[in-house]
Every structure is written in structure tokens, then in C-alpha cells.
Structure 1
Amino acid sequence: MIKCPRTVVCYICGREYGTKSINIHEPQCLKKWHNENNLLPKELRRPEPKKPEIRTITAKGFYDLDALNEAAWTSAQSQLVPCNICGRTFLPDRLIVHQRSCKPKAAK
């Protein structure tokens, strides 16, 4: 049985990183998030994502990584914005691109 290294989900982008590299990634990801958010039209700008507070500690004294990852994934997904035409969800910068080609379905 091959044991995969544990990963941690970024609460900003939803991607997985190693337990050592997540601390390097998060500040860079938040800076990128701010840069992209500032470029969006005012109606699509979002409040800064907050890092989830997980206080669940296992019997061995470690954080419950599964609970932390679930909270981080939920945080990342909450930043998605629905298309007002089709209802699919996108990051705000991708929504702008999507809406250029999204057309209402013709009534039958």
C-alpha cells in the first residue's frame, strides 16, 4: 500500500499543497487575490476571504486535517459567483469571460 503525502487545501484558491508549502503559498495567493479583485468591476468585487478557524484537535494533539481541508474547500467555493443567464458558478474574473459567450436557451 502506497501512502500519499498529506495535503492541505488553500482557503483562497481551493488547490492542494503540501503541509510545508502551504505556509509559503497562502500569502502569495492572497496577494494575487487582491490584485485580481482590484481589477474587477465594482459589482463583482468580493470581501477578502477569511482563513477558517478550526479548533478540532485529535487525541494525539494534531489538528484534524480533514476538518481543516473541508472548511478551506467551503471557503474557496463560497467565492464563486453564479452566471445570471445559465446559473453556473465561476470565479469573478472567469465569469466576465464566460458571459461573453453565454446565451439564454431558446424556449421550445
Structure 2
Amino acid sequence: MTLRCTKSNCKPTMIRRPPTVICYICGREYGTKSIAIHEPQCLKKWHNENNLLPKELRRSEPKKPEVRTITAKGFYDLDALNEAAWTSALSQLVPCNICGRTFLPDRLIVHQRSCKPKAAK
């Protein structure tokens, strides 16, 4: 005898995403295995792009956040690590001196071409 799934005896199955880590440089999510490959490449790309910027838009090198990521049970606290990495990535944004919106420095240059001060009423 085989049982068929009906509303009364079926439980929805949750699909669990693999854990991800946020890059402290670019703010994107990567798998726990590939983040170690991504970060050196991302930092190299960051240096290349930063060197092409005008001197007033150049930033200091982002530092990897130091967060105590091991919990009492010996597991990594990915939430705390990701929060610190996201904050670090957001600190890389530069505000527009006209409207105040924040951008990556290379995008700020493009934005400022079209950003105009609001006309006084």
C-alpha cells in the first residue's frame, strides 16, 4: 500500500541555501569555499580601479573586518562576519557633493555629469 500526499499528511519541504559569505570589498555574496579565491582577486581589481581615479576620489585600502566569528559551540558566526563585511563594503561608497547619494567612485564620476542642483522655488 502506498500513501499519497494529501493536504493533511504532507509537509512542505524547505530548500536550504548553502551558507554564503559577503565580500568586505565589493559586498557580493560568495560560497564559503570560493570567498578565499575571490578576495585576493577582488582586492587586486580594487587597486587597479582605485589607481585610475582622480586623486581626490582615491580611497585607502579596505581592511578585512576582524570579528570574533567562532561561537561558544565552535561554529563560525556567519551573521556577525557578514554584517561587518557589509558595513565595510558600504564604507567604500562616496557621497555626491550635489545630491548626497552615495556611489562607488568610478560611478560617481558618471553620476556627476548629469546631477544638477535643484532649482530654488
Give the structure-1-normalised TM-score. Answer: 0.97
Q: Is the 8 A contact 2:69 2:78 kept in 1?
A: no
Q: Is the 8 A contact 2:23 2:39 kept in 1?
A: yes
1:58 positional shift: 1.4
Q: Report Cα offsets for 1:16-66 as digits up to 9, x if no partner.
A: 000000000000000000000000000000000000011142132122100
**In structure 1, how many angstroms separate the alpha carbons of the residues matched to 2:106 and 2:70?**
37
Q: Are 2:16 and 1:3 equivalent residues in the alignment?
A: yes
**In structure 1, how many angstroms separate the alpha carbons of the residues matched to 2:18 and 2:73?**
19
**In structure 2, how many angstroms separate the alpha carbons of the residues matched to 1:74 and 1:80?**
10
For structure 2, the residue ranges without an aligned partner over 5 or more in a row are: 1-13
Give the structure-2-normalised TM-score. Answer: 0.87
Structure 2 match to 1:14: 27
Q: Which structure has more RCO (C-alpha within 8 Å, separation ≥ 6)? A: 1
Q: Is the 8 A contact 2:23 2:89 kept in 1?
A: yes
Q: Is the 8 A contact 2:18 2:31 kept in 1?
A: yes
For structure 1, the residue ranges without an aligned partner over 5 or more in a row are: none
Residue 17 of structure 1 aligns to a residue in which SS? strand
**In structure 1, how many angstroms separate the alpha carbons of the residues matched to 2:16 and 2:59?**
38
Residue 84 of structure 1 aligns to a residue in which SS? coil
**In structure 2, how many angstroms separate the alpha carbons of the residues matched to 1:36 and 1:107?**
37
Structure 1 match to 2:116: 103
Q: Is the 8 A contact 2:96 2:103 kept in 1?
A: yes
- Give the greater-gyration-radius structure (CA): 2
The answer to which structure has the higher helix fraction is: 1
Q: Which runs of 4+ in 1 moved over 6 A?
A: none
Residue 34 of structure 1 aligns to a residue in which SS? helix
Cα RMSD between the aligned structures? 0.7
> Which stretch shows the higher mean deviation, 32-41 or 57-66?
57-66
